[in-house]
């Protein structure tokens, strides 16, 4: 999920634009909502968009303070996977990832809270959470499509109190679990990234070329093919928004769309300049697992300061995955931002408790699924390292 603030900020802002009024039918309709006054944010179940078949979801029901469903989620611990070659998750982020309810827990109102906290005894030490789905078989069928979404409320911090905050919902290719290779080689779809109190969020794709060249703009700073949105009309920092990525293998040419609240704001296509057929095929024909994390520090947001506020959570209302075997009318259902470049602006630089009671009753098998992925234990530990994970010229490069 790489992006580099100083290196690509101007280019990212250049492609951001107001979204078209209205939204596509199905999940994510309507503007963001902030929930009842004086209480937690409202919880909304994901609708089923027309033409799509639900394969997995989690709505985070359960008692306040309880853990995630171990049949669905894995906790990443420490500062990287065991034995990985890059410290601090390859980004320079400083928070130690834990499975403590202080950092990762249900709130009792249908949400997951991922909360970064400063250690009162050592103000330089932060803890937070990073979790990933046990399943790693989410894939677009041949001549079909894959839709991945999460309804999220970003941490409510602004100004100096937000310095160092880095929220992300993203995917990695299942082959990454075979040895924790560089994430661009496994395939990386960033559904949503946000840093500090910036008004925009970012969606991107990262890949390694098969036929030579640099089709995903990874050289020199691992930027990827990225686009931004300001979540109009209310803004990304206000209430909940639904962030979605869709991999369309049924369209001609094939494409990947990024949406916020049902409106497409960024597209990458198989036939865009610089993209070769072999690299594209490797990217869209793979399967993925999902990651939610709330980091602190790193090459993009910068280091936290004494003013950075502890305890502002990333709030997750639901995560859901759909597939479709036919187009099902999705192309005409899409609403696109008026400034949206159909070629994806190729020239810009731009992550429950066992007694969990499902909201969906008989659909619990869809939430857990018969395939639990590779079953690998990802509850790893790590150690602190001095390397800040920055790429060339002080720009941030992510390995994991």
For 46-99, the pLDDT digits (tens) are 677 788 999 999 999 999 999 999 999 999 998 877 777 677 777 889 899 999
Q: How does residue 15 score in pLDDT terms, banded at 50, 70 and 90? A: very low
Residue 45, pLDDT score: 67
**Above 60 in pLDDT, residue 25?**
no
Q: Identify the CATH number of the domain defined by range 5-16+62-394.
A: 2.60.120.200
90, 397 in Cβ contact below 8 A? yes
Structure tokens at 283: 């990217």
SS3 track for the chain = CCCCHHHHHHHHHHHCCCCCCCCCCCCCCCCCCCCCCCCCCCCCCCCCCCCCEEEEEECCCCCCCCCCCCCCEEECCECCCCCCCCHHHHCCCCCEECCCCCCEEECCCCCEEECCEEECCEEEEEEEEEEEECCCCECCCCCCEEEEEEEEECCCCCHHHHCCEEEEEEEEEHHHHHCCCCHHHHCEEEEEEEECCCCCEEEEEECCCCCCCCCCCCCCCCCCEEEEECCCCCCCCCCEEEEEEEEECCCCCCEEEEEECCEEEEEEECCCCCCCHHHHHHHHCCCEEEEEEEEECCCCCCCCCCCCCCCCCEEEEEEEEEEECCCCCHHHHCEECCCCCCCCCCCCCCCCCCCCCCCCHHHHHHHHCCCCCCCCCCCCCCCCCCCCCECHHHCECCCC
The answer to whether the predicted template modeling score (pTM) of the entire model surpasses 0.85 is no
Taking the CB of residue 126, how many other CB atoms lie within 10 A of it? 22
In this structure, are strands 255-260 and 73-75 parallel, antiparallel, or unpaired?
unpaired
Per-residue pLDDT tens over the stretch 181-232? 555 556 789 999 999 999 999 999 987 777 778 778 777 777 788 999 999 9
Using CA of residue 47, residue 172, residue 344, residue 10, what is the dihedral sign? positive
Residue 384, pLDDT score: 30
Residue position matching structure tokens 């602004």 = 158
Residue with the bigger pLDDT between 32 and 299: it is 299
Distance CA 314, CA 345 (A): 29
Query: Where are the domains positioned within the chain?
Result: 5-16+62-394
Which residues does 39 contact at the CB level (< 8 Å), separation at least 6?
A: 109
């Amino acid at each position: 999920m790489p992006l580099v603030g100083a290196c690509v900020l101007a280019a990212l802002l250049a492609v951001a634009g107001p979204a078209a009024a209205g939204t596509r039918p199905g999940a994510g309709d309507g503007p963001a909502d902030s929930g009842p006054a004086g209480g937690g944010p409202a919880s909304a179940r994901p609708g089923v968009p027309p033409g799509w078949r639900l394969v997995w979801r989690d709505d985070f029901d359960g008692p306040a303070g309880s853990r995630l469903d171990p049949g669905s989620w894995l906790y990443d611990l420490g500062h990287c996977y065991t034995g990985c070659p890059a410290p601090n998750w390859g980004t320079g982020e400083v928070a130690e990832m834990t499975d403590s309810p202080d950092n990762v827990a249900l709130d009792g109102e249908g949400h997951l809270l991922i909360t970064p906290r400063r250690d009162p005894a050592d103000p330089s030490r932060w803890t937070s959470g990073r979790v990933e789905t046990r399943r790693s078989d989410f894939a677009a069928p041949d001549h079909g499509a894959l839709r991945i979404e999460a309804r999220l409320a970003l941490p409510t911090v602004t100004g100096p109190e937000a310095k160092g905050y880095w929220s992300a919902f993203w995917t990695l290719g299942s082959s990454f679990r075979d040895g924790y290779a560089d994430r661009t080689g496994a395939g990386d779809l960033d559904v949503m990234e946000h840093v500090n109190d910036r008004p925009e969020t970012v969606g991107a794709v990262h890949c390694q070329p098969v036929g030579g060249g640099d089709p995903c703009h990874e050289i020199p700073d691992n930027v990827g093919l990225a686009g931004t949105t300001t979540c109009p009309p209310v803004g990304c920092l206000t209430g909940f928004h639904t962030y979605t990525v869709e991999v369309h293998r049924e369209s001609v040419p094939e494409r990947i769309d990024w949406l916020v609240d049902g409106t497409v704001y960024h597209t990458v296509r198989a036939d865009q300049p610089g993209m070769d057929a072999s690299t594209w095929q490797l990217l869209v024909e793979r399967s993925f697992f999902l990651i939610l994390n709330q980091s602190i520090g790193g090459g993009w947001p910068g280091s936290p300061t004494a003013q950075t506020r502890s305890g502002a959570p990333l709030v997750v209302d639901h995560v859901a995955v759909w597939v479709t075997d036919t187009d099902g009318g999705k192309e005409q259902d899409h609403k696109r931002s008026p400034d949206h470049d159909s070629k994806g602006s190729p020239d810009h630089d731009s992550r429950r408790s066992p007694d969990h009671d499902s909201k969906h009753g008989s659909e619990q098998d869809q939430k857990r699924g018969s395939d639990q992925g590779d079953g690998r234990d990802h509850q790893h530990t790590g150690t602190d390292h001095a390397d800040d994970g920055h790429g060339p010229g002080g720009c941030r490069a992510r390995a994991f």
